[in-house]
Amino acid sequence: VERFRHRYYHKLDYFPKTYGFEACTGCGRCIVACPGKIDMRKVLKEVCKA
């Protein structure tokens, strides 16, 4: 869980604040690690549309 939290923070919080863009490459590792199998790529696309 700690590795997943760190990866999420680094790619979707730290990078945008520091460099102005997300570091997500769309690899899907977050889906495999998520116990609910939530596709963060789809969630982020929907959030960006709103």
Supply the pLDDT for residue 50.
67
> Is the pLDDT at 24 greater than 70, yes or no?
yes
For residues 20 and 23, give the distance between their C-alpha atoms in angstroms, rounded to a whole number: 10
Q: Kindly report the average pLDDT of the chain as a whole number.
A: 82
Q: Give the CA-trace dihedral at 10, 16, 18, 23, to 10 degrees.
A: 50
For residues 48 and 33, give the distance between their C-alpha atoms in angstroms, rounded to a whole number: 23
> Is the pLDDT at 43 greater than 80, yes or no?
yes
For residues 15 and 7, give the distance between their C-alpha atoms in angstroms, rounded to a whole number: 11
